[in-house]
Structure 1
Amino acid sequence: MVNTSTTRLIMVRTFDVTADKVFDAWLNPEIFQKWLFTMEQTNKVAKNDPHVSGTWEIVDHRESKDYRAIGEYIEIDPPNKIVLTFEMPQFSDTVDTITVEIKPLDEGCEMTFIQEIVVPHEKDWTEANIEKAEVEYRDGSEQGWNLMFGGLKQLVETGKIVFPF
């Protein structure tokens, strides 16, 4: 394994549905195949075994390529918290950790998403190179999650995803 550092991405979203509904969208493959690293029309694989040490996998097919996301569940506390690993082995051997905390509000719920992003370093990088890479990884991840969370919000609140969000 190459030298690495870690950066943290934190995002908060509110939903006009119960915590149970958002929690289920993270674990039910019939739902997450529509928004989590994939879309229903490009999804080839959406499966999981949602218990501690169970695994999950998504394969999305775009532009004649398969993109595979995999991980393992570390903690599942319905409907409050999910902790899982995330990796895309075709791009890197790094493994990120994602924590999803969901709390009920008077109306709807609030989801706090935390991703511990592992950033691989190239040989002879300076501190400035590392800081730049951490910002790029965090910003790129945030951009992707913003799109996914837009789809998630539509899906749990209306039952479908309509682009653009």
Structure 2
Amino acid sequence: MSNYSTTTLVMTRVFNVSREKVFDAWLNPKMMKKWLFTLEGTNKVAQNDPQVGGTWEIVDHRDGKDYRAIGEYLEIDPPKKLVLTFKMPQFSDTVDTITVQLKELEQGCEMTFTQDIIVPHEETWTEADIEKALGEYHDGSEHGWNLMFMGLKELVETGQISYKG
């Protein structure tokens, strides 16, 4: 794909648990199915092969449809850093890159999440159309991740998520 732009989303969250616990929530399928692109009640598939070159997959079933998120692990440095690809094949051929960095704090840890979002262009788009699409992709992704990170925080800090979907 030659006609695309990239926008970068950066989000920071603080957790009142060790970074090991947050790192594990990104790789442990039993935890992934509770917050990563899905909820336990709507999850159909949560599997992964957490090694460099290994893949991950989540399938969520909502409103009669399956939503599939897949990717590959590019870097795994427990409990400090995780780099993976992200793709939702039913929506786009684009592949985003996600970097999760965890820093120990005096109490708990800080997660810095970075997503390089690929925004495909349509042939007729002007610069204004491209800028608008970049903003929409960025803001839409930020909204989705914000909801997921609220679930992640609740999961790692309490052991469960109260919202069931």
Partner residue, 2:38: 38
The alpha-carbon deviation at position 151 of structure 1 amounts to 0.2
Partner amino acid for 1:23?
A: F
Is 2:88 the counterpart of 1:68?
A: no
Structure 2 gap ranges (5+): none
Once residues 2 and 61 of structure 1 are traced to their aligned partners in structure 2, the CA distance between those partners, rounded to angstroms, is 33
The alpha-carbon deviation at position 162 of structure 1 amounts to 1.3
Deviations 1:75-102 (A, max 9, x none): 0000000000000000000000000000
The alpha-carbon deviation at position 163 of structure 1 amounts to 2.8
The alpha-carbon deviation at position 54 of structure 1 amounts to 0.3
Once residues 30 and 162 of structure 1 are traced to their aligned partners in structure 2, the CA distance between those partners, rounded to angstroms, is 16
> Structure 2-normalised TM-score?
0.98
Once residues 73 and 91 of structure 2 are traced to their aligned partners in structure 1, the CA distance between those partners, rounded to angstroms, is 21
Once residues 154 and 82 of structure 1 are traced to their aligned partners in structure 2, the CA distance between those partners, rounded to angstroms, is 21
Per the alignment, in what secondary structure is the counterpart of residue 31 of structure 1?
Answer: helix
CA RMSD of aligned residues (A): 0.9
Structure 1 gap ranges (5+): none
Is 2:156 the counterpart of 1:156?
A: yes
Percent identity between the aligned chains? 72
Is 2:134 the counterpart of 1:125?
A: no
> Structure 1-normalised TM-score?
0.98
Which runs of at least 4 in structure 1 moved beyond 2 Å after TM superposition? none
Partner residue, 2:55: 55
Give aligned pairs, total: 164
Partner residue, 1:95: 95
